[in-house]
Amino acid sequence: MEHLELFFKSIFIDNMVFATFLGMCSYLAVSKKVSTAVGLGAAVIFVLAVTVPVNWLLDQYILQPGALQWLGAEYADYDLSFLSFIMFIATIATMVQLVEIVVEKFSPSLYNSLGIFLPLIAVNCAILGGSLFMQSREIETIGLAFNYGISSGIGWFLAILAIAAIREKIRYSNVPAPLRGLGITFIITGLMAIGFMSFGGMLTGGDDEGKKQPEETAKVEKVNKKENKLAENTTTINE
Amino acid sequence: MGLLSKKDTKLITDPLADNNPITIQVLGICSALAITAQLKASIVMSLSVLFVLGVGNVVISLIRNIIPSKIRIIVQLTVVAALVIIVDQVLKAYAYSLSKELSVFIGLIITNCIIMGRFEAFALGNGPWKSFLDGIGNALGYAVILVIVGFFRELLGSGTLLGFPVLGDPIKKTGLYAIGYENNGFMLLSPMALIVVGIIIWVQRSRNKDLIED
């Protein structure tokens, strides 16, 4: 159930393009034709599905405050979270290089049509954003991290597919000249985002009330734990 | 301008309007849209990008001759990531609530395409001083759009500017509210950022017909 909820939530409600504006550059630049849009969307799904779990492992066992405990008790106080940007981006750059090699080998035509945008996936905010949101939302298991990666990738895919289809059709309409191209794309994306906002109510119906209670207490416990840890730290300093 | 030659001045003024990174080059849009619900956040974001792009351009241009071209993207990303870590840590130390508000978007400066775009298009082929000016110019062009969008969204959305009420008090019904004006909460939601940028593009291209696409 938790998986299903996260799945639909990341596709529709927290859609990367419409709710958080991630990956807008390539979204705007590669959405002129449906075929290239599909290729890029698939590459984004794949890269997200690989990098988010890998970065989850990095976060869990190296970066988080106290994550280095498995090395020995003397490392328990280490907090390397300031290094997360550099670690995440290194993982992403490696994975993108891998995708580039695979695509070039198996589908040269797609490789040529994507052109510069394949290496640019490395600097697509959606990919890094996925990992950073995974970190800031404290996703708990690696399965959920994988789910999060793949479903937010699908959300992005859906968005670029929709806008590419609209842009192919809009070529035949009489758009005011200064608005042609980029301007109208922005406004259509805005309107689509308004549409996607209506999905916000999707997961709040049903048996939610029964479920919310334990979740909140769990959160409170977590906060208490953090506070306790803080208190412990300060007492040790005071001593 | 005694200090800057005509060409150098152009490096700074060009990206402000006719070659604006956001509305013409279509770069760096993610962060431009996500944090503009308030003017203050837009300004802090602009300053961060100004720092990262200015310094990053100089660093890349200094080491441009020793970077092997095959791994240049990783080298560039490392330089940017290091600079962004500095910005992030400074913000966390001196403006914690603001850095909480900007959440992941400070980190996303790393993947801001303006930065990679300028490295690729300019810093790899030009000297440090020119690259610095180019970086500053493009960051200012980015800042202009961010500030305009932030200004309208905060003014129309919550009736304040930088947190100060400028349209009167909505609860006591003073100022504009006395004659029936209501805050348009919709401006604070994400879709309106897209539409505001769309309108900016519309205005800009109506004024300069050369920019109109096909």
- When mean pLDDT is compared across A203-212, B98-107, B188-197, the lowest value belongs to A203-212
Q: How large is the average pLDDT for residues B27-54? A: 83
Query: Which residue of chain A has the CA closest to B208?
Result: A178
Q: What is the spatial distance between Cα A66 and Cα A192, in angstroms, rounded to a whole number? A: 42
B9 lies within 8 A of chain A by CB = no
Q: Give the pair of three-digit tokens for residue B93.
A: 């130390």
Query: What pLDDT shows up at residue B101?
Result: 78
- Identify whether the C-beta of residue B128 lies closer than 8 Å to the C-beta of residue B70: no
B30 lies within 8 A of chain A by CB = yes
Q: What is the spatial distance between Cα A126 and Cα A51, in angstroms, rounded to a whole number? A: 11
Contact A186 B197 (CB under 8 A): yes
Query: What pLDDT shows up at residue B194?
Result: 85
Q: How large is the average pLDDT for residues B69-94? A: 85
Question: Mutating which of A16, A18, A22, A24 best tests the B interface, going by the most B Cβ atoms within 10 A?
Answer: A24
Contact B195 A190 (CB under 8 A): yes
Contact A120 B113 (CB under 8 A): yes
Give one DSSP letter per residue of A158-214, joined into a string. Answer: HHHHHHHHHHHHHTTS---GGGTTHHHHHHHHHHHHHHHHGGGGTTTSSTHHHHHHH
* Average pLDDT in chain B: 82
Let me know the angle formed at the C-alpha of A3 by A102 and A46, rounded to the nearest 5 degrees: 10
Query: What pLDDT shows up at residue A115?
Result: 66
Q: What is the spatial distance between Cα B28 and Cα A125, in angstroms, rounded to a whole number? A: 9
User: Average pLDDT for consecutive 10-residue bins of chain A (239 residues)?
Assistant: 84 84 81 84 86 89 79 78 83 82 82 70 78 84 90 91 90 83 86 85 55 48 52 46
Query: What pLDDT shows up at residue A161?
Result: 92
User: How far is residue A98 from each of residues A43, A77, B42, B50, B51, measured CA to CA in Å?
Assistant: 11, 35, 36, 32, 32
Q: Map out the domains of chain A as residue ranges.
A: 1-198
Contact B202 A93 (CB under 8 A): no
Residue B193 binned pLDDT confidence (cut-offs 50, 70, 90): confident
Tell which phi-psi region holds residue A79, choosing left (phi > 0), alpha (psi between -120 and 50) or beta. beta
Chain A, chain B: beta-carbon pairs less than 8 Å apart: 142
Q: What is the spatial distance between Cα B129 and Cα A27, in angstroms, rounded to a whole number? A: 33
Nearest to B192 among A128, A182, A190 (CB): A190
B121 lies within 8 A of chain A by CB = no
Residue B19 has pLDDT above 80, yes or no: no
Nearest to A193 among B84, B191, B201 (CB): B191
Better-predicted residue by pLDDT, A150 or B98:
A150
Nearest to A23 among B26, B30, B89 (CB): B30
Chain-centre distance for alpha carbon A39: 18
User: How far is residue A207 from each of residues A29, A200, A203, B209, measured CA to CA in Å?
Assistant: 42, 16, 10, 57
Contact A82 B85 (CB under 8 A): yes
Q: What is the spatial distance between Cα B157 and Cα A64, in angstroms, rounded to a whole number? A: 37
Residue B34 has pLDDT above 60, yes or no: yes
Q: What is the ipTM of this complex?
A: 0.81
Give one DSSP letter per residue of chain B, joined into a string. Answer: --SS-HHHHHHHHGGGTTT-TTTTS--SHHHHHHTTTSHHHHHHHHHHHHHHHHHHHHHHHHSTTTS-GGGHHHHHHHHHHHHHHHHHHHHHHH-HHHHHHHGGGTGGGTT-HHHHHHIIIIITTS-HHHHHHHHHHHHHHHHHHHHHHHHHHHHHHHSEETTEE-S--TTTT-GGGGGT----GGGGSHHHHHHHHHHHHHHHHHH-GGG---
CA distance B112 to chain A (A): 7
Question: Mutating which of B194, B207, B213 best tests the A interface, going by the most A Cβ atoms within 10 A?
Answer: B194
CB crowding B186-214: b at 16 or more within 10 Å, else e: ebbebbbbbbbbbbbbbebbeeeeebeee
DSSP class of residue A1 equals -
B188 lies within 8 A of chain A by CB = no
How many other CB atoms are found less than 10 A from the CB of residue B96? 10
Give the end-to-end CA distance of chain B in Å, rounded to a whole number: 37
On chain A, the residues whose CB falls within 8 A of the CB of B87 are none
Residue B99 has pLDDT above 70, yes or no: yes
Query: What pLDDT shows up at residue A213?
Result: 47
Residue B129 has pLDDT above 60, yes or no: yes
Contact B198 A194 (CB under 8 A): no
B53 lies within 8 A of chain A by CB = no
Query: What pLDDT shows up at residue A227?
Result: 53
Query: What pLDDT shows up at residue A214?
Result: 47
Question: Mutating which of A128, A136, A139 best tests the B interface, going by the most B Cβ atoms within 10 A?
Answer: A128
**Tokens 């953090």 appear where?**
A226
